[in-house]
C-alpha cells in the first residue's frame, strides 16, 4: 500500500509538472491535476449534453447557461440530432445545500477524449466548477473549435475565495454586480463580500429603519426584493453572498437618519468633513437598535456569516465625549480599543443570537471574543498569523486590494500561507480559510468598475484555488490574457469600456493614436490619487479622465520590458527583439505629433499633453541608444546626461498617471553609455 502511495505521489507530481508546462491549456485557475491526452473533441453543431445522477434546478440552469455560453463563444447554434450520443455526459452524486455552506464539496473530474467528454462530481456544485473549466478549454484551431483531450482532477485549495465590492462610495447597480458574479463563477470564486454601508452611503432597504436609506443615501440603494433576487442569482452560480455593515466606524450614513446612534453632536451630511463619526457603544439604545436591525438583515441574507466591519475606528469622537470617557473609566477599561472590544463582544452576541457567525476586519482581534469569530486581515499578513495563533479562523485581504492598482504579478506573489503564516503549525494553518480581493469604490463608477476588477481578479482567484506551487509568472500572464477574452464573452466590459471612454474624450476622432499613449500609462499606485483630492472627495463628480479609462496594468509596457530583457541578455544581438523594440520606440517617438491635434481639441485631454511629449522624448532617447548599441559605440557622457534628464522628467506623475516604459528605456540608455545592467 505504501509503495502504491509513493508511486501515486510521484505520478501526481509528474502530472503537476506537465500541467505547469502546458500553457496552451489556457486555464485559470489552473486545476490541481491536469493530464493531457491525445486528440481533441470537436465542438460543432451536433454538440449536446446529457445529465444523469442527482439533478436540481440549479444544475439544469447551470447546464443551460453553459450551453448558451459555449454557443456564444464559438458562434455555433447547436442543433443536436435526436438519439445521438451526447458530446458531454454529466453525473453528480448529490445535490447542493439550499444555502451554500462554507466548505461544501466543489471537486470534479473532467475527462475529454476525441469521442466525447465526461464530467463527474460528488455534488452539483462541483459540476458547476467543471463546466467553467470546459468553457475555458474550448479553443479555435485550423479545423474548427475543439476541446483538447485531457483528464482533469480538481478541487480548491481554500474553501473561501471571495471578492469584496464596496457599493457605498459609488453605488453599483445590480446588473453590474451580476455580470461580476458571472466573472467570479468563471474563475471559481465562491463568496461575494458586499460592503453595503459606509460613511458615504447606506445601500440596503430596512423596513425597521427606513431613514437609513431615505436620509443615509443619495436615493440609490437596493430594495429587499432586489437583494433576494440577487442572492438567488449568486446561489445559482455557486456563490455565497456575505453582507457587511461596517460599525462602529465608517458609519456616518447611519447618523443622518438616526443621530442618537452617534458619539458626537452632528449634524451629519454624506459629504462629510470634520472628524470621523463613530457609533456610541456606551448607550443601551444603540444595542436595542442593532438587535432589531441585525435581526432584520439576518433574515434577508441567508449566508451563515455576517460581517460587522470594525476597521479604522480612530476614536476621536470617543475622546471628545466626556460621557464616553466616564464610561471607559467606570468599566475599568484602559483605552478606546477596550471600548471597541466591549462593543464587539455585545455585537457578537446579537449576531450569534441570529444564528450567524461574526466576521470582522483585523482590528477586532481581541482575546475576549469567542473563537468562532473570523478575522479578515487587511493591514498585513502578520494579523492573519496572529489570529491563527490565538485560535481564530482568518481570511487574507492584505495584498489583494485591487484599488491600489498593483500589477497582477504583485497580487499573485501574495500567498495566505506565506510570510508570517509560513511558520504556523499545521493545526494553526488549518484555520486559514482563504482570502478575498477587495474593490473599494472611491474611484470607480458602474462604467469602469469591471476594468479595475478584471482581469487581475482572476489571478487572485487562482492563488486561492490552485496548488501553492502554481506560481510561474509568465504562464500566469498568458493564461490571464486568455481568460480576459473569455470574460468579455460573459458580458464584462473591462476592455470595451476603455474604448468607449476614450471615444467620449475624443469626440468623433479616431482613437487609434490616443490608444498608443493610453496603452503605456497606468494610474498612480496605492493611495497616491488621494493626494490631489483636496478635502473630502466629491463622489458625484464624473470619473471620466484618462486615468479613469486606462488599465491598472499596462500589457504593452510589460511586453516591452520583456523584450528589452531578452535583448540585453542576448548581449544586444537578438535581432528579432531589437526589431520589435525599434518598432515600438519609433511609434512612440512619432505619436505625439499625430496625437497633438486631438489633445488640443478636447478639454478632457489637455492635461495629457505633457505625458504625450514625454513619451515621444523617451522614444527618441531609446532609438538613439539602440543606434549606439548597434554600432558598438559607447554613448558620450554629455548625451547620456541629456537623456537622463528626459528620463527623470518622464518618471514624474502627470495627470495622476505614470509612463510605464521609462525603466526599460533607461536600461537601453545606460547600456549604450557602457553601463551594462544585465540582470
**Contacting positions for ligand ACM (CB under 6 A):** 311-312, 361, 378
Min CB(379)–ligand ACM separation in Å: 8
Nearest residue to the partner ligand ACM, using Cβ: 311
Query: What is the spatial distance between Cα 535 and Cα 370, in angstroms, rounded to a whole number?
Result: 40
Pairing of strands 144-154, 108-113: antiparallel
Provide CB contacts within 8 A for 571, sequence distance 6+: none
3-class DSSP assignment, residue 3: helix
Which among 587, 560, 579, 575 has a CA at the least distance from the CA of 665? 560
Of 312, 345, 488, 607, catalytic: 312
Provide CB contacts within 8 A for 3, sequence distance 6+: none
Min CB(362)–ligand ACM separation in Å: 8
Pairing of strands 144-154, 139-141: antiparallel
Query: What is the spatial distance between Cα 640 and Cα 635, in angstroms, rounded to a whole number?
Result: 7
Look at the block and give the residue holding cell 432589531.
292
Min CB(378)–ligand ACM separation in Å: 4
Min CB(312)–ligand ACM separation in Å: 5
Query: What is the spatial distance between Cα 667 and Cα 659, in angstroms, rounded to a whole number?
Result: 15
Angle at 264 between CA 261 and CA 265, to 5 degrees: 100
Q: Which is nearer to ligand ACM, 193 or 640 (CB)?
A: 193
Query: What is the spatial distance between Cα 253 and Cα 202, in angstroms, rounded to a whole number?
Result: 6
Where is 598: in which H helix or E strand?
Answer: helix 575-601
What is the number of alpha carbons within 13 Å of residue 551 lying toward its C-beta? 25
Q: Which is nearer to ligand ACM, 305 or 361 (CB)?
A: 361
- Take residue 446 and report the three cell numbers written for it: 458602474
Q: Is 226 a catalytic residue?
A: no
First to last CA, the chain: 48
Query: What is the spatial distance between Cα 276 and Cα 393, in angstroms, rounded to a whole number?
Result: 30
3-class DSSP assignment, residue 325: helix
In this structure, what are the phi and psi dihedrals at residue 78, rounded to the nearest 5 degrees?
-75, 130
- Bridge partners of 49, per DSSP, are 88
Provide CB contacts within 8 A for 674, sequence distance 6+: 634, 635
Q: Which is nearer to ligand ACM, 88 or 438 (CB)?
A: 438
Min CB(313)–ligand ACM separation in Å: 10
Q: Which is nearer to ligand ACM, 36 or 380 (CB)?
A: 380
Query: What is the spatial distance between Cα 239 and Cα 192, in angstroms, rounded to a whole number?
Result: 7
3-class DSSP assignment, residue 159: coil
Query: What is the spatial distance between Cα 389 and Cα 528, in angstroms, rounded to a whole number?
Result: 34
Q: Which is nearer to ligand ACM, 164 or 518 (CB)?
A: 164
Provide CB contacts within 8 A for 2, sequence distance 6+: none
Which among 606, 585, 549 has a CA at the least distance from the CA of 665? 585
Min CB(444)–ligand ACM separation in Å: 15
3-class DSSP assignment, residue 196: strand
- Take residue 154 and report the three cell numbers written for it: 480538481
Which among 472, 494, 405, 458 has a CA at the least distance from the CA of 161? 458
Cβ count near 220 (within 10 Å) = 13
3-class DSSP assignment, residue 43: coil
Query: What is the spatial distance between Cα 190 and Cα 171, in angstroms, rounded to a whole number?
Result: 22
Catalytic sites, residue numbers = 312
Amino acid at each position: 500500500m505504501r509503495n502504491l502511495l509513493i508511486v501515486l505521489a510521484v505520478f501526481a507530481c509528474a502530472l503537476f509538472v506537465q500541467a505547469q508546462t502546458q500553457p496552451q491549456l489556457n486555464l485559470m485557475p489552473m486545476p490541481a491535476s491536469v493530464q493531457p491526452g491525445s486528440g481533441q473533441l470537436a465542438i460543432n453543431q451536433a454538440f449536446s449534453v446529457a445529465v444523469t445522477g442527482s439533478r436540481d434546478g440549479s444544475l439544469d440552469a447551470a447546464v443551460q447557461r453553459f450551453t448558451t455560453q459555449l454557443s456564444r463563444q464559438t458562434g455555433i447554434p447547436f442543433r443536436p440530432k435526436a438519439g445521438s450520443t451526447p458530446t458531454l455526459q454529466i453525473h453528480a452524486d448529490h445535490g447542493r445545500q439550499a444555502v451554500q455552506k462554507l466548505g461544501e464539496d466543489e471537486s470534479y473530474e473532467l475527462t475529454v477524449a476525441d469521442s466525447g467528454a465526461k464530467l463527474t462530481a460528488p455534488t452539483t456544485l462541483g459540476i458547476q466548477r467543471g463546466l467553467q473549466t470546459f468553457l475555458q478549454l474550448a479553443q479555435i484551431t485550423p479545423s474548427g473549435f475543439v476541446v483538447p483531450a485531457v483528464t482533469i482532477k480538481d478541487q480548491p485549495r481554500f474553501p473561501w475565495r471571495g471578492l469584496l465590492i464596496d457599493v457605498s462610495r459609488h453605488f453599483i447597480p445590480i446588473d453590474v454586480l451580476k455580470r461580476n458574479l458571472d466573472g467570479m463563477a468563471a474563475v471559481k470564486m465562491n463568496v461575494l463580500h458586499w460592503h453595503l454601508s459606509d460613511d458615504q452611503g447606506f445601500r440596503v432597504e430596512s423596513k425597521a429603519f427606513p431613514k437609513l436609506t431615505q436620509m443615509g443615501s443619495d436615493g440609490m440603494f437596493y430594495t429587499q426584493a432586489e437583494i433576494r433576487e440577487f442572492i438567488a442569482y449568486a446561489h445559482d452560480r455557486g456563490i455565497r453572498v456575505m453582507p457587511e455593515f461596517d460599525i462602529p466606524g465608517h458609519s456616518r450614513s447611519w447618523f443622518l437618519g438616526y443621530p442618537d446612534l452617534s458619539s458626537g453632536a452632528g449634524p451629519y451630511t454624506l459629504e462629510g468633513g470634520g472628524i470621523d463619526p463613530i457609533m456610541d457603544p456606551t448607550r443601551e439604545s444603540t444595542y436595542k437598535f442593532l438587535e432589531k436591525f441585525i435581526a432584520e438583515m439576518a433574515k434577508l441574507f441567508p449566508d451563515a456569516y455576517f460581517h460587522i466591519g470594525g476597521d479604522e475606528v480612530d476614536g476621536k469622537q470617543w475622546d471628545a465625549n466626556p460621557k464616553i470617557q466616564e464610561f471607559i473609566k467606570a468599566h475599568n477599561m484602559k483605552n478606546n480599543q477596550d471600548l471597541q472590544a466591549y462593543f464587539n463582544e455585545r455585537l457578537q452576541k446579537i449576531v450569534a443570537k441570529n444564528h450567524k457567525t461574526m466576521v470582522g476586519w483585523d482590528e477586532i482581534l481581541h482575546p475576549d471574543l469567542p473563537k468562532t469569530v473570523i478575522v479578515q486581515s487587511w493591514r498585513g499578513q502578520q494579523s492573519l498569523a496572529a489570529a491563527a495563533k490565538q485560535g481564530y479562523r482568518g481570511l487574507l485581504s492584505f495584498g489583494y486590494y485591487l484599488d491600489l492598482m498593483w500589477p497582477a504579478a504583485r497580487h499573485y506573489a501574495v500567498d495566505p500561507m506565506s510570510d508570517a503564516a509560513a511558520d504556523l503549525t499545521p493545526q494553526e494553518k488549518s484555520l486559514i480559510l482563504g482570502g478575498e480581493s477587495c474593490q473599494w469604490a472611491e474611484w470607480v463608477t458602474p462604467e469602469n468598475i469591471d476594468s479595475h476588477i478584471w482581469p487581475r481578479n482572476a489571478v487572485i482567484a487562482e492563488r486561492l484555488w490552485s496548488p501553492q506551487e502554481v506560481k510561474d509568472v509568465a504562464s500566469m500572464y498568458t493564461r490571464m490574457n486568455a481568460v480576459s477574452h473569455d470574460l468579455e464573452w460573459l458580458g464584462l466590459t473591462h476592455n470595451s469600456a476603455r474604448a468607449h471612454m476614450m471615444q467620449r474624450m475624443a469626440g468623433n476622432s479616431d482613437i487609434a493614436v490616443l490608444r498608443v499613449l493610453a496603452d503605456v500609462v497606468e494610474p498612480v499606485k496605492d493611495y497616491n490619487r488621494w493626494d490631489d483630492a483636496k478635502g473630502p472627495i466629491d463622489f458625484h463628480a464624473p470619473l471620466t479622465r484618462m486615468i479613469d479609462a486606462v488599465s491598472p496594468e499596462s500589457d504593452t509596457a510589460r511586453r516591452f520590458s520583456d523584450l528589452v530583457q531578452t535583448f540585453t541578455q542576448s548581449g544586444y544581438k537578438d535581432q528579432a527583439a531589437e526589431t520589435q523594440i525599434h518598432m515600438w520606440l519609433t511609434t512612440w517617438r512619432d505619436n505625439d505629433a499625430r496625437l497633438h491635434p486631438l489633445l488640443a481639441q478636447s478639454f478632457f485631454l489637455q492635461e495629457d499633453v505633457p505625458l504625450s511629449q514625454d513619451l515621444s522624448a523617451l522614444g527618441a532617447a531609446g532609438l538613439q541608444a539602440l543606434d549606439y548599441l548597434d554600432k558598438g559605440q559607447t554613448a558620450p557622457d554629455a548625451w547620456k546626461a541629456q537623456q537622463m534628464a528626459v528620463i527623470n522628467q518622464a518618471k514624474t506623475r502627470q495627470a495622476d498617471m505614470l509612463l510605464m516604459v521609462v525603466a526599460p528605456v533607461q536600461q537601453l540608455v545606460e547600456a549604450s553609455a557602457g553601463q551594462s545592467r544585465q540582470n
